[in-house]
Chain A
């Protein structure tokens, strides 16, 4: 709905409502006024007739009374009149219709007058000159006149109202332009601005009222927007230039990065290849060295058994040492083979209950009676290559047992759970490790004990490190030198969740 239609509608609605209310009020007032007038008129009639008929009533002259009542013909609205004497007897009777001789007893319910559906009934006392009540006159007048009067008033009112409404419409449709005109012009300007994004146009102010203020404010706003627009455009232009510059820079950097990446990839593949070559070489070399070494060992053994009589003590000692060194070398070669095999051979992953694993390990290790191995918390069941996780725990617990130097050895196995990995630990109250060796101990063939003291080839921890890192975990040690050390390693959790449940069941059974 357009604003000018709204304005016209509002004016029309208001004036029509006011008019109708006024009309209703007027008609209502008129209705009650007419009623009052009617009562007054009828009362006048009644009092005149009562006065005229008092002698007739006093002298019991029904004929005279009847002729007085007949004078009521002059008032056509009176349809019935009736005189009752003080003793209650009907005395004289009048009907507008001369043929009708019936007597109507009018019930006023104790009042002096009463309105019924279509008539006004009224009574008036007849008093003689002494003021004595000698009878009552009842009059009945029809309400036709009242209704026709009201109808006439209503018609006239409606006609006037219609004319007023027409005039109001003509006036309001002219006058609404005073308000809607400037607003419409403003709307046109606003639409222009929003369509063409042209903030240079201005609305013209005609009046000093609120609409004028609105136009002023609108123009100010346009000015402001215009300024902002200019600023924004400048900033935008600057920004675009900077973006272009930065983009160019980035392209260069990207190219460099890509080059670097390619280089890196090449390097990685070269390194991987080199690593594999090295590993292969170590494996092959160790493998190939095994046979001649075994031959040397065998020969030395034969020599020691069959030719010891030909050798002096010195010779016998040298031969013994030769055999020992050969055995040592064989162990080293086996260790190299084991180390290099990690990652080359992979078995299928399965569900492993670590509590069982630890029990098996401790059963197989010859644990001295003075050493106690405890599982701190019930360990979880994980998914892993059984051999590898078993090896990690075997090496760590084995080290702890082997290096135990206290009369009451205490070895604890436990874990902590993080969001996506387990952290397992094996702690002991053994000799401990100096901090400077924390990294060294994980390097292959590095044992902190002298060869002669303990039979150690220093490969256990390096194997642990290799397995853990193969699974994407970390391994480290914390130690208080002299009071024991704790080895930690992490193991990813999500493996279990990727396992098919059916498969898991069969694993559990097996």
Chain B
């Protein structure tokens, strides 16, 4: 009997702890959900306030590439079926760069294909999971007309164009004009006004 009682007590505690954990998880999850919905809205508006060069006007689609360990549904969902600049939004979810490298070890061609595909994106979102490899990814897409958006510290320093930061529990962003200039993108001055920080392009010539 005593054993049973002790067991019962332990069970209670376990259940209590588990439910507590579940609640925390749910809350965290909830916060994350909201964060990505907001970020999706930001991405959507970035595309509106940024102009792409060249034959961009002739394309029917505007492609968003997302590189993350896990697919971020909350980021994709709000953007699906949207239209920007009279083009339908196409979202491609890429695996994390680590996986890509692993894939390359087995199938070099498949990896190259993926990388080529990434290079064709108009906007590339690099998730916080890629903090280690961000520099490499950015190096890959350098000189392409791609608006790179990240959510990790030092993203601009690595050569990213826009980086999300959280300030007073609010999502804001920073802009690296040097990077956007390199990618030949034109960012609206109004967008610059809203940026928390703008890294100006070096005077050329």
Contact = CB atoms under 8 A, between A and B. Distances in A.
A374 B38 CA distance: 148
A54 B190 contact: yes
A130 B85 CA distance: 5
A263 interface: no
Nearest to B42: A59
B197 interface: no
Interface string A54-65: 111011110010
A283 B151 CA distance: 180
A58 B48 contact: yes
Interface in A125-178: 128-130
Interface in B172-205: 188, 190-191, 193-194
Contacts of B59: none
Nearest to A53: B190
A53 B65 CA distance: 29
B84 interface: yes
A61 B194 CA distance: 7
Given A128-B45, A128-B48, A55 B84 contact: no
Q: How large is the interface on A (under 10, 10 to 19, 20 to 34, 35 or more residues)?
A: 10 to 19
Contacts of A61: 194
Contact of B193 (A64, A129, A130): A64
B193 A55 contact: yes
A129 B194 CA distance: 16
B86 A130 contact: yes
B36 interface: no
Interface residues of B, number: 15
Contact of B45 (A52, A58, A64): A58
B186 to A, nearest CB: 11
Interface in A53-104: 54-56, 58-61, 64
Interface string B33-71: 000001001100100110000000000000000000000
Given A128-B45, A129-B48, A55 B194 contact: yes
Contacts of A58: 45, 48-49
Contacts of A64: 193-194
Nearest to A56: B194
Contact of B190 (A55, A60, A130): A55
Contacts of A59: 42, 45, 191, 194
A55 B42 CA distance: 11
A294 B2 CA distance: 211
B84 A56 contact: no
Contacts of B193: 55-56, 64
A455 B85 CA distance: 166
Given A64-B193, A64-B194, A130-B48, A55 B188 contact: yes
A130 B194 contact: no
B169 to A, nearest CB: 14
Contacts of B86: 130
A414 B76 CA distance: 147
Interface string A247-282: 000000000000000000000000000000000000
In the complex, which of the residues B38, B45, B84, B86 has the most CB atoms of chain A within 10 Å of its own CB atom?
Answer: B45
Nearest to A52: B190
Shortest 6 CB-CB distances between A and B: which pairs? A55-B190, A58-B45, A129-B48, A61-B194, A64-B194, A128-B48
16 contacts: A52-B190, A55-B49, A55-B193, A55-B194, A59-B45, A59-B191, A59-B194, A61-B194, A64-B193, A64-B194, A128-B49, A129-B48, A129-B85, A129-B188, A130-B85, A130-B86
Interface of A: 52, 54-56, 58-61, 64, 128-130
Given A61-B194, A129-B188, A130-B84, 8 more contacts: A55-B191, A55-B193, A56-B194, A58-B48, A59-B191, A60-B41, A128-B45, A130-B85
